[in-house]
Structure 1
Amino acid sequence: MIDCAYASLAAHWLPFLIVAAWTAFFFIPGARAKDKSLSRYPDYAAYRSRSYALVPLIW
């Protein structure tokens, strides 16, 4: 979110493109790799059933 804020301060389309590319090539694959590594734990299925892909439920 802070990256999008910095991109909006630049008032140009290129920073938004850079943030979108970073998200597509680094953030999403990293999140998937983290989910894959966590899947070896027995409580992961319960965690996955009560959380969203990017924002876990806190309540």
Structure 2
Amino acid sequence: MREKSPLELATGVPDDDGRRWHLYTGPVASRAEKIWVGAWRLGFRASDDVVVVDGAPN
């Protein structure tokens, strides 16, 4: 994985780890068995990723 630029670090760009990230501002509906949820705010570090399996956080 490449190093992030200072701008990417300052704006909280997520790691390029093969997952697809989408912006949601309300409830998340998914047919997937497992999804990962995280939070980012500009200028702050990313939250821990939370794995949600069958609608319940693990």
TM-score class, shorter-chain normalisation, is under 0.3
TM-score, normalized by length of structure 1?
0.23
Q: Which has the larger radius of gyration?
A: 1
User: Hey, which of these two has a bigger chunk of strand by percent?
Assistant: 2
TM-score by length of 2: 0.24
